[in-house]
Amino acid sequence: TTLVAELFGQGNVAALDETGEVIGALSTVRLKSRTVAPGSQYEYPASRLNPLDVSRGAFDRHMRESDSDVVRTLATQLNLGGLYAEEVCTRAGVPKETPIGEATDDQLGALHDALARIDERLRSGDVDPRVYEEELSGDEADDREPRVVDVTPFPLAEHEGLPSVGFDSFNAAVDEYFYRLANEETDDGEAPADASASRPDFEGEIAKQERIIEQQRGAIEGFEEQAQAERERAELLYANYDLVDEVLSTVREAREDEVPWDEIEETLDAGAARGIEAAEAVVDVDGGEGTVTVELDEEGGDAEGDGGGTTRVELDAGEGVEVNADRLYQEAKRVEEKKEGAMAAIESTREELEAVKARKAEWEEQQADDGGGGDGGDGEGDDEEYETDWLSRSSIPIRSPDDWFERFRWFHTSTGYLVIGGRNADQNEELVKKYMSKHDRFFHTQAHGGPVTILKASGPSESADPVDFSEETLREAAQFAVSYSSDWKDGRGAGDAYMVEPDQVSKTPESGEYIEKGSFVIRGDRTYFEDVPCRIAVGVQCEPVTRAIGGPPSAIVDRAAAHVTFEPGMYAQNDAAMMAYRNLKERFADQSFVRKVASADQLQEFLPPGGSDIVD
């Protein structure tokens, strides 16, 4: 197993198997250029320009290609970032706002020289590490310790005037900086310093274990998909036995006659041009590996009547159909063994999570027995003592989750159960086929055009016992289904929904009938929820993770530090999202935090299609 630490961007850690395939990752990354997710082949990011290695000619060329000013070009095109771009300008004596079109060759030379001097100092080890602190007035200095501002390998002209502390090594400076930064998280509105110092960070540990479980679930899901794909490829070889056997026999006989691989490839290409089916199936010949890759038609189609696609299978040209198929079956078995290991790991993590929760409950009980921090009450004072006033905090740390369900519509009920809904017909199909389990509940509206809504009894790949969902939980799931249906879009204030068991949901229509994509046949008795209000709240969650959330108001109010409630109305979805964003941003002291975790675009993901109004 290989661990890859990504020390760029938001940072990440990925575990790879011996083939370079991702087993698990701290954060899932899906970009046009690369993917870091369980089951994918790990790809290194494309290298970027190193500002410390750039020649004078390349420096001038990159600078002249910009249509911005000097400091922004250094920060973005030369990858220096804002602070060090300003530092280079200051050391070079070049005004940072100078437009590139007006910058002289001498000024560019001075900038490059300043950059070269920084490079020389770093490479020679001539460092003087500093931790910079905020400057306090006399009264403030008596009341509290100064906060840390920055840590640098040498003094910066941009920080001239700020108090600083020197260190023998940059590692020691960085260690001190982050140690003090972590301690400064105890801000106004949190527990007093003496209380927080004695209180273990149960919430942080719980969030960590839950994050690990989500990653392990993703790995299990990836293993399941990979094993299924290997089995399907093996079965495809048998389904096309005669064609595959003809390809392998042709290549094997040619090799026995010592025909070169390039001639074999030319012969197959010529056969394909003449319309020989076996030759047409060959898409790649690799003499170095001794393999031939064929592209085979998949049997059948999907439920909507679409034709099947094609699948590529790499074959060992020296073996027959049976041996190649057996190799694929063995690979599927190997992957399933990895899945079993991951399932054992997830059970271990769940046990650790339960142990942390038990320690938290024991600690809180002990605090209550000891007087609850001095209030002499029954322990309720403890909860109030440690409740954070997120709206007043000047800086809120961002802890972004990466949950598998976030691409669907979703919320957690007030009792903690996950509810997921489809955004379109494709997702409706996917939810029922892939994510609906035995003890879940299926919800839908009486009105046409509503999403498939599933109240989950457990997470993916988890075994679950039957759940006796509370009436409150069921009503919230029903309200979710109604609010994202055509009832909202049509401006109705309420609607009706029904609930059934998973085994009552089918894609098999009655004889002579047709089922549209994303639709299902419901058989048997239904439980109805009548006159359910169309209401959705959106808000900002600050613990244990930071993100925008949305759903039935009763499920959102207690989880959100601040929220806005909507009903069907006149404002378009994007306008309503902007109204909510402005409302929420004004209520937080740390407005940059709201911009990052609950922008208008992020909030819009939780708003129903159609017009909306804010509920006073």
Query: In the chain, how many domains are there?
Result: 5
Has residue 244 got a pLDDT over 90?
yes
- Label residue 306 by pLDDT band (50, 70, 90): very low
Q: What is the pLDDT of residues 148-178, one digit of tens each?
A: 889 999 999 888 888 888 887 888 888 888 8
3-class DSSP assignment, residue 546: coil
- Is the pLDDT at 496 greater than 90? The verdict is yes
pLDDT of residue 243: 92
CB count within 10 Å of CB 140 equals 12
The pLDDT tens digits of the residues spanning 414-459 come to: 888 899 999 988 898 888 888 888 889 999 998 877 889 999 987 6
pLDDT digits (tens, 9 = 90+) for 86-133: 999 999 889 988 999 999 998 999 999 999 899 888 888 888 899 998
* Average predicted confidence (pLDDT) for the chain: 83
Domain shared by 31 and 65, yes or no: no
Q: Is residue 45 part of a domain?
A: no
* Confidence (pLDDT) at 307: 47
Q: What is the distance in angstroms between the CA of the first residue and the CA of the last residue of the chain? A: 56
Which pLDDT does position 550 carry in this prediction? Answer: 96
Shared domain check, 333 and 234 = yes
| Angstrom distance (rounded) from CA 547 to CA 152 | 31
Query: Which residue, among 75, 73, 72, 115, has the nearest Cα to 92 in the 3D structure?
Result: 115
Whether 77 and 17 map to the same domain: the answer is no
Q: What are phi and psi of 564, to 5 degrees?
A: -135, 135
pLDDT: which is higher, 32 or 69: 69
Identify the weakest region by mean pLDDT among 392-396, 438-442, 487-491.
Answer: 392-396
* 168 and 215 share one domain: no
Same domain? For 378 and 501 the reply is: no
Residue 155 belongs to what domain range?
127-134+144-181
Mean pLDDT along residues 493-501? 92
Residue 48 lies in a domain: no
The answer on 172 and 226 residing in a single domain is: no
For residues 163 and 262, membership in a common domain is answered with: no
Q: Is the pLDDT of residue 141 over 90?
A: no
Question: Rounded mean pLDDT of 400-424?
Answer: 90
Tell me if 44 is assigned to some domain: no
Q: What pLDDT, on the 0 to 100 scale, is given for residue 102?
A: 92
Report if residue 505 sits inside a domain.
yes
598 & 462 share domain: yes
Residues 112/59, Cβ–Cβ less than 8 Å:
yes
Query: What are the tokens at 116?
Result: 């070269």
Upper half-sphere CA count for residue 301 (Cβ side, 13 Å): 5
Residue 109 falls within a domain, yes or no? Answer: yes
The pLDDT tens digits for 456-485 are 987 655 556 678 888 999 999 999 999 999
Same domain, yes or no: 535 and 600: yes
Is residue 395 domain-resident?
no
Please tell me the distance from the alpha carbon of residue 554 to that of residue 476, in angstroms, as a whole number.
Answer: 8
pLDDT at 560 over 90: yes
In a domain, residue 101? The reply is yes
Other beta carbons less than 10 A from residue 237's beta carbon = 23
- The angle at the Cα of 10, spanning 8 to 16, to the nearest 5 degrees, equals 70
Going by pLDDT thresholds of 50, 70 and 90, the confidence category of residue 498 is very high
**CATH at 99:** 1.10.8
Q: Are residues 382 and 327 in the same domain?
A: yes
* Within a domain: 397: no
- Domain match, 409 and 383 both: no
Residues 464 and 340 in one domain: no
